[in-house]
Amino acid sequence: MSEPDPNPPASPEPAPEPAAQPAAAPAACQPSAASPPTASATPPASAAPSETPGACAPSPPPAAPEPPAPAPAAGTPGPAAPGTPALPAARSPAPRPRRPLPKDYKLRLTALGACAVLLVANIVLGIVVLTSRRQAPAPPPQEPPVPARGVVPPSALEGGGYADMKRLPELRAMMEKLRPLHQKIHKPGPIDWLTHHKEPGQTFAEYLRCEPVTLSASRKTICIQPLGEFTGTQRKIVLLAGEYMARYFSAEISVMEDLPLEVVPASARRGARGVGPQIKTPPGLSSVLAPRLPNDPAADNAVTALDLYPQDSWNFCFGQASLRERVGVWSLARYGDPDSSPEAFRLCLLRTLKVATHETGHMFSMYHCVLCECNMNGSNHMAESDAKPLWLCPECLAKVLWATGADPVGRYKKLAAFCAEQGLKEEQQFFEKSLEVLQKP
Ligand SMILES: [Zn+2]
Ligand SMILES: [Zn+2]
């Protein structure tokens, strides 16, 4: 679908996701590729013995050859050391003449002593290493690197399913199983998102290091806040989106009472750019939503049937969300008329499911995905958005499972059932195929 654009601004094609969004994340949330993983910060114990022999290399030969020792005459006593009484020749063997000491003999003695100490230390170290290896079982070969303890959210240390460090091996194994089902991201076209927005992406390991927003025992609810007016069918789609999000994020979904459009200041509204009046996302909506967060929800989504724009220079956006502040907004304005036909209803529903889960994914600190075809890809226009799947790639799926504590098998079953009920066949088949792969031994 081409984008209506009666008054194109200087900026490129209509862009649904503002470039400022990732930049809004605080510096602490930037993935740090330079930081080595904890597991490799400490060298393995077996490395120590292999490094030490170099320090114990034999001493170099003396600079000058030693003078030949004079042959002593039989029965001739040698000179006595000062203070040492001479013994009778008949009761002691003939003393051998002393070889002169090299000038650097003290240095040599010191080097030999140091070598001896290192040799003993190596032997002791080797014994300790061998003993400890016999006593402690080897770690599992697929144990993934874990984030430094200091940057793990408190909930990870408390357990309870959210951000549970014990799940890392399970999640890593799940990712490997699912990887063959997913495609690498396509090369972007001239007006596609990644052509105009150079983004770093975010692996699961980088996500763990950024101290992401997660569900917790005290934050289990995701709110949906309707804003302005809706048709009956649009309202039905919002409720279905809430049902889908409950399965997708394994969270409680609370659909709030409507807010009137008047809560958005007049300065944050403008005339149409193709599909009716527009609302400016920040600060127009952040200032409205943030003070209204009830009972400390994990995330608060505003949803509106009006069109959105993030900055004056942009035509529109499908949605926008904060990576840290747990607020976001998405719009149904450009998803067609769901009353016109059953197909149009399904298309509007599918598009709404994509944007709702994509923006809520951002609220759980997920960056745009640049690895695979994935629901967390950025998209610059409707055709690009339609080409992206409803599902997540393995890296992004692991993030959602980590943040929500969801079981991947149970989650896929619920998502497949939802898609079957709504006639979303391609999505249903993909979730069922994923289930099949996950359940193979
Ligand atoms: Zn986005
Ligand atoms: Zn992804």
Phi, psi of 151 (to 5 degrees): -110, 5
Residue 52 included in any domain: no
List the end-to-end C-alpha distance of the chain, in Å, as a whole number.
Answer: 43
Residue 82 included in any domain: no
Q: Ligand 1 centre and the CA of 359: distance in Å?
A: 6
Integer-rounded Cα radius of gyration of the chain? 36
Q: Are 392 and 319 in contact (CB under 8 A)?
A: no
Q: SS3 for the chain, per residue?
A: CCCCCCCCCCCCCCCCCCCHHHHCCCHHHCCCCCCCCHHHHCCCCCHHHHHHHHHHCCCCCCCCCCCCCCCCCCCCCCCCCCCCCCCCHHHCCCCCCCCCCCCCHHHHHHHHHHHHHHHHHHHHHHHHHHHHHHHCCCCCCCCCCCCCHHHCCHHHHHCCCCCCHHHHHHHHHHHHHHHHHCCECCCCCCCCHHHHCCCCCCCHHHHHHCCCCCCECCECEEEEEEECCCCHHHHHHHHHHHHHHHHHHCCEEEECCCECHHHCCHHHEECCCCCCCEEECCCCCHHHHHHHCCCCCCEEEEEECCEEECCCCCCCECEEECCCCCEEEEECCCCCCCCCCHHHHHHHHHHHHHHHHHHHHHHCCCCCCCCECCCCCCCCCHHHHHHCCCCCCHHHHHHHHHHHCCCHHHHHHHHHHHHHHHCCHHHHHHHHHHHHHHHCC
Q: Are 285 and 276 in contact (CB under 8 A)?
A: no
Question: How many Å apart are CA 278 and CA 62, to the nearest integer?
Answer: 89
Ligand nearest to the CA of 17: 1
Q: Ligand 2 centre and the CA of 171: distance in Å?
A: 15
Q: Ligand 1 centre and the CA of 70: distance in Å?
A: 92
pLDDT attached to residue 90 = 36
pLDDT attached to residue 330 = 95
Ligand nearest to the CA of 378: 1
Per-10-residue mean pLDDT of the chain, 441 residues long, equals 35 40 35 30 29 30 35 33 34 50 61 58 52 41 32 37 86 97 97 95 95 89 92 97 96 90 88 90 66 71 93 92 89 97 98 97 96 97 97 98 94 98 98 96 84
pLDDT attached to residue 234 = 97
Q: Ligand 1 centre and the CA of 173: distance in Å?
A: 27
Ligand nearest to the CA of 400: 2
Ligand nearest to the CA of 397: 2
Q: Ligand 1 centre and the CA of 432: distance in Å?
A: 26
Q: Ligand 1 centre and the CA of 17: distance in Å?
A: 5
Domain range holding 210? 154-439
pLDDT attached to residue 267 = 87
Q: Ligand 2 centre and the CA of 141: distance in Å?
A: 25
Q: Ligand 2 centre and the CA of 367: distance in Å?
A: 9
Residue 311 included in any domain: yes
Q: Ligand 1 centre and the CA of 362: distance in Å?
A: 7
Give me the sign of the Cα torsion angle 433, 434, 438, 441.
positive
Q: Ligand 1 centre and the CA of 376: distance in Å?
A: 6
Q: Ligand 2 centre and the CA of 407: distance in Å?
A: 18
Ligand nearest to the CA of 359: 1
pLDDT attached to residue 120 = 58
Question: How many Å apart are CA 354 and CA 386, to the nearest integer?
Answer: 9
Question: How many Å apart are CA 287 and CA 290, to the nearest integer?
Answer: 6
Q: What is the CATH number of the domain that holds 186?
A: 3.40.390.10
Residue 226 included in any domain: yes
pLDDT attached to residue 87 = 35
Ligand nearest to the CA of 281: 1
Residue 110 included in any domain: no
Residue 136 included in any domain: no
Instruction: List Cβ neighbours of 246 (8 Å cut-off, separation of 6 or more).
Output: 222, 252, 253
- Give the orientation angle of helix 394-404 with respect to helix 232-249, to 10 degrees: 80
> Could you tell me which of 216, 48, 35 has the C-alpha nearest to residue 128?
48
Ligand nearest to the CA of 368: 1
Residue 396 included in any domain: yes
Q: Ligand 1 centre and the CA of 68: distance in Å?
A: 87
Ligand nearest to the CA of 370: 2
pTM: 0.66
pLDDT attached to residue 115 = 52
Q: Ligand 1 centre and the CA of 375: distance in Å?
A: 9
Ligand nearest to the CA of 399: 2
Number of domains in the chain: 1
Q: Are 309 and 267 in contact (CB under 8 A)?
A: no
Residue 46 included in any domain: no
Longest dimension (CA), the chain: 129
Q: Ligand 1 centre and the CA of 438: distance in Å?
A: 28
Q: Ligand 1 centre and the CA of 200: distance in Å?
A: 13
Q: Ligand 2 centre and the CA of 276: distance in Å?
A: 32
pLDDT attached to residue 426 = 98
Question: How many Å apart are CA 218 and CA 156, to the nearest integer?
Answer: 14
> Could you tell me which of 17, 11, 12, 13 has the C-alpha nearest to residue 322?
17
Ligand nearest to the CA of 184: 2
Identify residue 47 by its one-letter amino acid code: A
Q: Ligand 2 centre and the CA of 399: distance in Å?
A: 9
